[in-house]
């Protein structure tokens, strides 16, 4: 396992979600997440707001064809491209219009693209968002996938792409030997995770998260969602892995959005923790969302 990586530092910049009706889903993000929409000319929309942006494209509901990570500068990107290519990964053109032309992508074992590049400055200046949620803090911070090929996904993001492992969850009991790893949290900067994977019966997008400035922001967001009759379906709670406060809501397609605060920081070489089965890694306060039907 790496304790240094040329991917460091990299931040989640944007994700793409597909839907049969991009305009309708974009409208949800405008109202619920305080974002503005811009048509990208191919039927897709950029939805963007305060420290948050997504591409909403035409496709199967809940598909997540790519997740895009921004590196610090071109020199880092060049070195990182060599690092990934040296691990035998086939590099593909970046599908996003939001990064400069030298961005590239790598296809994970479930067919999803991980995209790496430097943001194009022009896209930061589109029409400002309006509405009650526009000023609320919520930086797009992590994205999570579920996979039936979990060991392959974990190995790909760790070994081929150079994400550092923070905490893992395994299927063993606290007083027994560790079992199979079934959740892995990975990072490319000080924040505990910008990507994570859960073992699950089928490949799927799991959730994406917006990091706020503190517990009080969760109240502001929950009150805002209440005005739109968008219910909290999980939480509030505190994840054991990452130690962040959270709740989750769903968009009309069923994509899970997490509002988060107090996400743990880990230094570059700092090891994470292994968590036993039992659910405390997932929620210290209450109910657990278990994605792994095979887990005891």
* Two structure tokens written together for 76: 């880092």
Residue 107 Cβ, how far from Fe ion at the closest point, in Å? 23
* Residues 196 and 187: beta-carbon distance below 8 Å: no
Residue 264 makes contact with Fe ion by CB under 5 A? no
Minimum Å gap between C-beta 140 and Fe ion is 12
Smallest gap from residue 225 Cβ to Fe ion (A): 17
From CA 127, how far away is CA 195, in angstroms rounded? 29
DSSP assignment, residue 118?
-
Total residues at interface with Fe ion (CB under 5 A) = 2
SS3 assignment, position 84 = helix
Element (H, E) at 32: helix 22-33
Within positions 197 to 216, which residues make up the interface with Fe ion, using CB under 5 A? 209
**Are β-strands 36-39 and 274-275 bridged in parallel, bridged antiparallel, or unpaired?**
unpaired
Nearer to Fe ion, 192 or 224 (CB): 192
What are 70's two structure tokens? 């921004």
As measured in angstroms, the least distance from the Cβ of 142 to Fe ion is 6
Residues 241-260 that bind Fe ion (CB under 5 A): 258
Structure token pair of residue 225: 């969602």
Q: Tell which phi-psi region holds residue 26, choosing left (phi > 0), alpha (psi between -120 and 50) or beta.
A: alpha
Please say which residue, 129 or 209, places its beta carbon nearer to Fe ion: 209
What does the block give as tokens for 49?
């707001």
Contacts to Fe ion from residues 43-82, by CB under 5 A: none
> Considering the complex, what minimum distance in angstroms separates the CB of residue 209 from Fe ion?
4
Q: How far is the CB of 216 from Fe ion (least distance, A)?
A: 20
- Distance from C-alpha of 224 to C-alpha of 96, rounded to nearest angstrom: 31
Residues that bind Fe ion (CB under 5 A): 209, 258
């Amino acid at each position: 396992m790496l304790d240094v990586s040329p991917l460091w530092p990299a931040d989640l910049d944007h994700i793409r979600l597909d839907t049969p009706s991009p305009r309708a889903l974009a409208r949800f993000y405008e109202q619920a997440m305080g974002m503005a929409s811009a048509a990208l000319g191919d039927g897709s929309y950029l939805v963007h707001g305060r420290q948050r942006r997504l591409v909403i494209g035409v496709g199967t509901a809940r598909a997540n064809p790519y997740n895009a990570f921004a590196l610090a500068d071109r020199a880092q990107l060049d070195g990182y491209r060599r690092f990934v290519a040296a691990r035998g990964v086939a590099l593909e053109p970046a599908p996003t219009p939001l990064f400069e032309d030298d961005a590239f992508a790598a296809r994970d074992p479930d067919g999803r693209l991980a995209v790496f590049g430097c943001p194009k400055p022009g896209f930061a200046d589109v029409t400002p968002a309006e509405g009650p949620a526009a000023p609320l803090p919520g930086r797009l911070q992590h994205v999570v996938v579920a996979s039936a090929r979990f060991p392959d996904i974990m190995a790909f993001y760790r070994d081929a792409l150079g994400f550092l492992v923070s905490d893992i969850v395994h299927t063993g009991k606290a007083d027994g030997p560790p079992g199979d790893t079934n959740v892995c949290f990975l990072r490319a900067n000080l924040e505990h995770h910008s990507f994570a994977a859960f073992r699950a019966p089928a490949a799927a997008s799991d959730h994406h998260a917006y990091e706020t400035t503190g517990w009080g922001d969760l109240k502001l967001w929950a009150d805002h969602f209440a005005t739109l009759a968008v219910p909290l379906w999980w939480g509030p709670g505190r994840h054991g892995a990452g130690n962040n406060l959270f709740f989750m809501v769903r968009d009309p397609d069923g994509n899970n959005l997490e509002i988060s605060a107090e996400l743990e920081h880990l230094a570059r070489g700092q090891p994470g923790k292994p968590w036993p089965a039992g659910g405390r890694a997932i929620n210290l306060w209450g109910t657990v969302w278990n994605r792994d039907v095979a887990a005891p």
